[in-house]
């Protein structure tokens, strides 16, 4: 199945009131596992590459082109998304490579500068048929707008979307990045209020810290795109460590990375079902 525009995945999900899983790729095995899990679940999926991952690999093309190749070979619709990009040059490179969407993170700038920078990115991406996710407040930080008590204001969010023209908005409703426990407390009433206030899909960052039942509740309240990274990395590392503990003589990385890849695939399939009403 060909690489799919992000809007072809997120748009129908938003209208149907179901969630879309957006999972971060750190290694090639992540991309393979995520697509395998999506195929097992029979659901579309979004592969995400963050600016931090680009920095880890030294450049976007090695991991970006490999991820695009995995997406193009999938049997379900797959989009490829640049996550938390702060560099305009990196956004332009992702567009040239064929990414179907970007999330531009200008949250550390003053509000008016954030508007201007995001608007310029949106104009550039729209001219190339690329979908844009924006953010209001420091959603990109490890705390920022996900620090305790910080929440997205619906009126400000409405003004931000109108001024920037973004296709989706990441909002702060109680989750936090890089959580290794799944006990985040979401503000479901705020999610519903934001959904009623905005005419673009909502995006939940920091979803690794949210339990299955609350992920399903968040989608019911109005969330559409749900980002998961740390939770999958925990599964990857757990499976690799289990193999190495049982087989300390192992030196071939395929022997422990393979089970790690399989563990991620299984968890992706599970989460996609949860986001599509699988707890009902």
The DSSP letter of residue 59 is S
Closest CA to 78 of 116, 119, 136, 37: 37
Decide if 82 contacts 102 (C-beta within 8 A).
Answer: yes
Strands 78-85 vs 101-104: parallel, antiparallel or unpaired: parallel
Decide if 194 contacts 152 (C-beta within 8 A).
Answer: yes
* Distance between CA atoms of residues 45 and 202, nearest Å: 16
CA-angle at 44, arms to 38 and 8, nearest 5°: 165
**187 is annotated as an active-site residue:** no
Decide if 100 contacts 80 (C-beta within 8 A).
Answer: yes
Token digits of residue 39: 């195929």
> Given its phi and psi angles, is residue 210 left (phi above 0), alpha (psi -120 to 50 degrees) or beta?
beta
Please identify which of the residues 7, 8, 83, 89 carries the catalytic annotation.
Answer: 83
> Given its phi and psi angles, is residue 179 left (phi above 0), alpha (psi -120 to 50 degrees) or beta?
beta
* Distance between CA atoms of residues 268 and 48, nearest Å: 13
Catalytic (active-site) positions: 83
């Amino acid at each position: 199945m060909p690489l799919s525009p992000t809007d072809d995945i997120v748009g129908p999900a938003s209208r149907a009131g179901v969630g879309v899983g957006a999972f971060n790729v750190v290694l090639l095995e992540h991309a393979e596992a995520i697509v395998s899990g999506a195929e097992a679940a029979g659901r579309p999926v979004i592969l995400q590459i963050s600016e931090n991952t680009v920095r880890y690999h030294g450049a976007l093309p090695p991991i970006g082109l490999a991820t695009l190749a995995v997406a193009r070979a999938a049997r379900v619709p797959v989009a490829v998304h640049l996550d938390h990009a702060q560099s305009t040059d990196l956004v332009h490179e992702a567009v040239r490579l064929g990414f179907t969407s970007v999330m531009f993170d200008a949250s550390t700038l003053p509000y008016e500068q954030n508007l201007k920078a995001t608007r310029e990115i949106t104009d550039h991406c729209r001219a190339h048929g690329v979908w844009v996710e924006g953010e209001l407040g420091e959603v990109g930080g490890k705390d920022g707008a996900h620090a305790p008590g910080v929440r997205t204001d619906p009126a400000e969010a409405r003004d931000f979307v109108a001024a920037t023209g973004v296709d989706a908005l990441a909002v702060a409703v109680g989750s936090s990045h890089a959580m290794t426990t799944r006990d985040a407390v979401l503000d479901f009433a705020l999610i519903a209020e934001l959904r009623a206030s905005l005419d673009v899909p909502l995006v939940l960052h920091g979803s690794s810290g949210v339990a299955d039942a609350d992920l399903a509740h968040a989608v019911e309240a109005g969330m559409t795109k749900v980002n998961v990274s740390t939770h999958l990395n925990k599964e990857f590392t757990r499976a690799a460590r289990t193999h190495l503990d049982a087989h300390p003589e192992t030196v071939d990385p395929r022997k422990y990375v393979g089970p790690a890849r399989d563990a991620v695939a299984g968890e992706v399939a599970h989460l996609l079902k949860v986001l599509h009403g699988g707890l009902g």
